[in-house]
Amino acid sequence: MTKNKIGRRHLLGGLATGTAALGMTAAAPAYAKGTRRLKMVTTWAKNFPGLGTAPENIAKRVREMTDGQIDIKIYAAGELVSPFDSFDAVSTGTADLYNGAEYYWQGKSTAFNFFTAVPFGMTAQELTAWINFGGGQELWDTLSAKFNIRAFQSANTGVQMGGWFNKEINTLDDFKGLKIRMPGLGGEVMRKLGAAAVSLPGVEIFPSMKSGAIDATEWVGPWNDLASGFYQVADYYYCPGFHEPGAGLSTGINLDIWDSLTKSQQEILRIACQAENERTFSEYNYRNAAALATLITRHNVQVRRFSPEIMRALKKASDDVLNEAAARDPFTKKVYESFKASLENSMRWGAQSEEPYTLSRREV
């Protein structure tokens, strides 16, 4: 044993003795006094890749950045309340925060859909542009405040897949009578094509596919869909996810709790959400590629692309669904108009930047 190692062992032993004398364990961080304990309910299974790890990461960062003054305990789907009751739980104060997808609250207001994803809507970059610079966050604040909530973007899956089907979808007739899980306004588009769309929490999809209660489902993309095992219950995996081209997930906090935080604590929570939004988006982009290869080579999944005829019909039905949604109430109309203006702005720029670049990268 070198002298150096003996010295290091001695030093560690000394530290352990010191903390034991103070009644602390060596592993426990030195947190400041006055810990505020908050409860966060989520719509996800415990530590599910990306979706379930995001709230854990946010809680960890907030704990560290506040030196332990804010300690958020995460409850997986169903642990404290059922997943779709998360919003009400935070609105009424049963829980302090939620982590989920805003379109799960569309029963409260159709406008919530726009803060997750709408059919033929925004990519992740476009959504962030609208939320941060196109007036999206201000509209979101107004909407959530009606329910005593403040919400922030805190994850993004990027472009999703079109879903898993137990048969090939070759013509529009193949949608007729199809029992498919598709939440948000995408479900309404499916209904226009004659499908029977349902919205199920993630944890209920696999058993529903297995029992035959549903014939098809969308979920997220290869990384999450591989983890969910959908290749065991469906052979055909369609792209693109016209209904969720960049699904934003969110963290909401009860407004009374928010108002009771110090300015510094509020900023820490906001920035922790923003950091996780960026981190998840990069993780999905990285891991989806490898997971898709695994699905194809190891599980013989058949990847298909919706035909141009089907995409045209989906686009037409989507336009109708969005216009009908906007006509439901003046606030949803206001959100839709703001969303649409920002999307058109992004598309004009995209047509001269990202689109020609990525196309030419493949061509040259």
Binding mask 218-237 for Ca ion (x = CB under 5 A): x-------------------
Closest approach, Cβ 161 to Ca ion, in A, equals 8
DSSP state string for 278-306:
HHHHHHHHHHHHHHHHHHHHTT--EEEE-
User: What are the angstrom distances between the C-alpha of 272 and each of 4, 54, 100, 265, 266?
Assistant: 40, 10, 16, 10, 10
Q: Which is nearer to Ca ion, 96 or 244 (CB)?
A: 244
Q: How far apart, in whole angstroms, are the C-alpha atoms of residue 279 and residue 56?
A: 13
- Selected range binding Ca ion among 60-68, 128-136, 217-225, 290-298, rule: CB under 5 A: 217-225
Name which of residues 33 to 52 contact Ca ion (CB under 5 A): none
Question: What are residue 37's DSSP bridge partners?
Answer: 71
Segment lying near Ca ion (by CB under 5 A), choices 95-103, 104-112, 159-167, 323-331:
159-167
Q: Give, in order, the Cα–Cα distances in Å from 146 to each of 112, 184, 254, 320, 331.
A: 12, 20, 11, 27, 12
> Going residue by residue from 258 to 287, which x/- string records binding to Ca ion, judged by CB under 5 A?
------------------------------
- Which segment (9-17, 20-28, 74-82, 153-161) binds Ca ion by CB under 5 A? 153-161
Give the Cα-Cα-Cα angle 60, 62, 64 (nearest 5 degrees): 70
Dihedral (C-alpha) 173, 176, 182, 185: value to the nearest 10 degrees? 80
The most distant pair of C-alpha atoms in the chain lies apart, rounded to whole Å, by 79
Nearest approach, Cβ of 185 to Ca ion (angstroms)?
12
What is the closest distance, in whole angstroms, from the C-beta atom of residue 23 to Ca ion in the complex?
49
| Cα separation values, 175 from 180, 188, 191, 216, Å | 9, 13, 9, 10
Nearer to Ca ion, 136 or 162 (CB): 162
CB of 42 to Ca ion, least distance (A): 16
* Least CB distance to Ca ion at residue 247 (A): 6
CB of 156 or CB of 160, closer to Ca ion:
160
| 302-305 and 236-239 strand pairing | parallel
Q: Which of 302, 285, 251, 306 lies closest to 120 in space, CA to CA?
A: 306
The SS3 call for residue 62 is helix
Mark 240-259 with x for binding to Ca ion (rule: CB under 5 A) and - for no binding. ----x---------------
Least distance (Å) from Ca ion to the CB of residue 283?
Answer: 16
* Nearest distance from C-beta of residue 272 to Ca ion, angstroms: 24
| Residue with smaller CB distance to Ca ion, 153 or 254 | 153
Write the DSSP string, 183-210: -HHHHHHHHHTT-EEE---GGGHHHHHH
Residues 84-113 contacting Ca ion, CB under 5 A: none
Binding span for Ca ion by CB under 5 A among 32-40, 133-141, 214-222, 251-259: 214-222
Task: Point out which span in 108-116, 122-130, 132-140, 157-165 binds Ca ion (CB under 5 A).
Answer: 157-165
Q: How far is the CB of 160 from Ca ion (least distance, A)?
A: 5
Q: 3-class SS at 36?
A: strand
Stretch that binds Ca ion, among 76-84, 166-174, 210-218, 333-341 (CB under 5 A): 210-218
Residue 107 to residues 23, 102, 111, 160, 263, Cα–Cα distance (Å)? 51, 10, 10, 23, 32
**Smaller CB separation from Ca ion, 70 or 169:** 169
> Is the N-terminal amide bond of 207 cis, ω within 30° of 0?
no
Which ranges constitute the DSSP H helices of 245-353?
255-260, 263-297, 308-326, 330-352
Minimum distance from residue 226 beta carbon to Ca ion (Å): 15
Taking the least distance from each CB to Ca ion, the nearer of 96 and 218 is 218
Q: Would you tell me which residues interact with Ca ion (CB under 5 A)? A: 160, 218, 244
